[in-house]
Structures are given as C-alpha cells and as structure tokens.
Structure 1
Amino acid sequence: MDDLPEPPARLTHAEVEIIFSHRTPDNAPEGFVAGYHFVIRDARGREAGHINLRIGSTPHVTFVAGHVGYEILPGRRGHRYAEKACRALAPWAATFPIGLIITTDPDNHASIRTIGNLGARFIDEVDVPPDDPHFLRGSLRKRRYLWLPESTQSA
C-alpha cells in the first residue's frame, strides 16, 4: 500500500466534490487490492455517499467488485451523484495505465444508468463465485463494463 501514489485531496465535477478519506489495504488471500476511498459531498458540503478506486487486478476485482465502486446514501439518491463522482475521479483515475472495470448487479437499474451515462462499454454478465463476499451478501450475478475515464470526462 505504501507504493501507491498520493491522491489529490479533493476532486470536483459539476456541484460534486470527492474528498480523499483513506487508503484501503490489500488482502491477497481474499483477492482484495489496495486502493482509495473518497467521500462524496454535494455543493453544500453534505455527505452524499462514497466512491472507491481499486488499483490492481485480481479475479475478485475484475469479475465481482470492479476497480470503481460507489454507494449513494438512500436519502441522497436521484441527483446523479455517482456519475458526477466518477467524472470527478476520472482525470486522476486515468493516470493509472489500466482500463477500469465497473460492475453492478443486473437489477440495479440506477447503477446501470450511471455506467451508461459514463460511456462505459458492456463486457458481459457473470456468476459470482459462491465463496466471494458479494455472493455471501446475496449478489449472485454481476454485469461488467469497461470504463476508459480519459475519454468520458464531458457532460
């Protein structure tokens, strides 16, 4: 984790800013990779959710969790905060020499819409392995998309 570059403290897009919170550790036995956790804030500085950028590729990341993960707080949904947070993250995420995988459950229509708005390309839909933490939380399938953030910073 010490070899990861220092992230920007704050990134913005439209009325959303993402504030670096902490690095996330890797856990090789679980297939987890190190990464970054950012808090998503609206124009008034209120927390709207969080976004993670995972650096590295393991089967867990490329088939289940994705390189980018976000969650918007239930009372804050419907304002395109996830999309705006991804766009805020895009210039910095593009400095890593990898195409980013974003995954979602097939029934998460809001996330599918967000991913589509980013211009990510659908790859496939896969079964989540029974020993994966996502499966244990009830997520049995994942739709996978390839996002090239350097080409999707508009809107």
Structure 2
Amino acid sequence: MMPPESVSRGGVTLCLDEYFEPRPPIDVPVLRYRIEVAGQTVGELRRRLGETSDLRRYFGQIGYEVQPAFRGRGHASMACRQGLAVMQGLGYDEVWITCNPENRASRRVCEKVGAVLVETVDIPAGHVMYQHGIRQKCRYRVRV
C-alpha cells in the first residue's frame, strides 16, 4: 500500500516531498513530508518504513522538526499524529520515536501523541550517532 501524497487535519497538512531508497546508516525507505500551515512550510516529518532493531532503538520510525519561528504552536504534535495515522494505514500496530534526553520539546510531542517512554539507552561508541556527539536516546513507543 502506498502512503497518501498529502493528509490534513487541524489546519496542519503533510505533503509528501521525497522518497529515499534504503541507504546507510538507516537502511530502510524514508518518506519526507513538508509540514504546512496556511500554505506555509513550517517544518518536516520523516517516516522511516521498517522494523530494524537499529531503527527501533536509536533512529525511530518517525522524526520531525519544526522551524524555530513556528515552534510552541502544536504543529509537531499534529503532524506526528497524522504520521502515526498513516503508519497505521500501512499496517503498523506500534511505532517507535526517539529523541535526545535534553530535548524537552520533542519529549512533550511524544507524550502528547500518546507515546510512552520505555527507556533511555546509551549510544554505542561505534555507532554513527556517537560519532556525531549523540550519547543517549529516549525510546518512546506508541500503539496505533
């Protein structure tokens, strides 16, 4: 089943921008969506389509980013809810979202969409994230 080109809810629209074939370090297909509000791009949401342990443990199956000028308005939460609904439509019954422990805004988004903190894990020294200075990830699971 192919994901929709766009989905809208609560004034926030996700528009499919790009499809990436599997490639390191994630090694699963990735869909990148623009997050739009009133026709203006405010951020992006990435859906990583796969079930690898590295994806569930470190990268997460959904990632999101909102431009600084648009933060604090609920756009990430609404976009994430839409992303979860599409994941459900693709056959997922649970989705993993990860974030850095110090990223309180991202942690709030996880909680707002019903994700539960499962654990905080250390990044192994040889992992690509460790090489970029990331030492831990909070792992959230949400049932869809």
TM-score by length of structure 1 reads: 0.85
Conserved in 1, the CA contact under 8 Å of 2:26 and 2:59? no
> Aligned to 1:103, what secondary structure does the other structure show?
strand
Aligned residue number for residue 44 of structure 2: 50
State how far apart, in whole Å, the 2-side matches of 1:71 and 1:132 are: 22
Conserved in 2, the CA contact under 8 Å of 1:100 and 1:148? yes
- Deviation string, structure 1 residues 116-142 (Cα, Å, up to 9, x no partner): 011111111101122333222221100
Instruction: Tell me by how many angstroms 1:30 deviates.
Output: 3.0
User: Does residue 9 of structure 2 align to residue 9 of structure 1?
Assistant: no
Conserved in 2, the CA contact under 8 Å of 1:32 and 1:60? no
State how far apart, in whole Å, the 1-side matches of 2:34 and 2:143 are: 22
TM-score by length of structure 2 reads: 0.91
State how far apart, in whole Å, the 1-side matches of 2:65 and 2:128 are: 17
Runs of 4+ in 1 over 4 A off after TM superposition: none
**Selected match of 1:130 from 125, 129, 135:** 125
1:34-73 paired onto structure 2 within 5 Å: 34-42=29-37, 44-73=38-67
Aligned residue number for residue 117 of structure 1: 112
More strand by share: 2
State how far apart, in whole Å, the 1-side matches of 2:26 and 2:40 are: 33
State how far apart, in whole Å, the 2-side matches of 1:137 and 1:53 are: 21
State how far apart, in whole Å, the 2-side matches of 1:37 and 1:98 are: 21
Instruction: Tell me by how many angstroms 1:99 deviates.
Output: 1.2
C-alpha RMSD of the superposition = 1.5
State how far apart, in whole Å, the 1-side matches of 2:22 and 2:118 are: 25
> Aligned to 1:113, what secondary structure does the other structure show?
helix
Aligned residue number for residue 14 of structure 2: 18
Instruction: Tell me by how many angstroms 1:78 deviates.
Output: 1.0
Q: Which segment is superposed worse, 137-146 or 52-61?
A: 52-61
Identity of aligned residues (%): 27
Instruction: Tell me by how many angstroms 1:31 deviates.
Output: 4.2
Q: Which runs of 5+ in 1 are unaligned?
A: 150-155
Counterpart code for 2:92 = P
> Aligned to 2:134, what secondary structure does the other structure show?
coil
Conserved in 2, the CA contact under 8 Å of 1:33 and 1:55? yes
Aligned residue number for residue 152 of structure 1: none
